Amino acid sequence: MTAIGIPASRTTRLRLTMRGRRVLAGAAALPAVVALSVAVISGGSALASRTSSVPSTSFTTVTVSAGESLWAIAEDVAPAADPRDVVDAIVRLNALDGVTVSAGQRLAIPAQYTPAP
């Protein structure tokens, strides 16, 4: 008892056994595991969406003549556009490794650079 007559409270120290520590760690990690699982499972939905920011894939084709370059083709198909942009679009559409083309090679030209019929 204390001087006022109120009994002194006993303080107990919490002791965790090895098993208790494992249970506590598992309970603490559970929300992270669930969140990661949901993210992995639902992550594929973004890849399977039907909407795309890529413009439509309509195009025309041209055949490369002997001695012709992508720059010359770009100037022919889109004289009002910047040839650098046209060359870049042709390279991306045709998945070319570089800007070198061969005579007889058929190239797709993006619809935005083809004249309207």
pLDDT, one tens digit per residue, over 28-47 is: 999 999 988 888 888 765 55
What integer best gives the mean pLDDT of the chain? 82
Q: Are the C-beta atoms of 64 and 73 separated by less than 8 Å?
A: yes
Instruction: Please say if the pLDDT value at position 89 is more than 60.
Output: yes
Could you tell me the residue range of the domain that residue 107 belongs to? 59-113
Match 């083309």 to its residue by tokens. Answer: 101
Same domain for 64 and 41? no
Exposure string (b/e) for 52-71, b if CB count within 10 Å is 16 or more?
Answer: eeeeeeebeebebeeebebe
What total of structural domains would you count in the chain? 2
In a domain, 34, yes or no: yes
In a domain, 8, yes or no: no
In a domain, 7, yes or no: no
Q: Are the C-beta atoms of 99 and 70 separated by less than 8 Å?
A: yes
Distance CA 115, CA 117 (A): 6
Q: What is the pLDDT of residue 7?
A: 63
Higher pLDDT, 58 or 71: 71
For the whole model, what pTM was predicted? Answer: 0.50
Same domain for 25 and 46? yes
Quick one: pLDDT band at residue 9, thresholds 50, 70, 90? low
In a domain, 6, yes or no: no
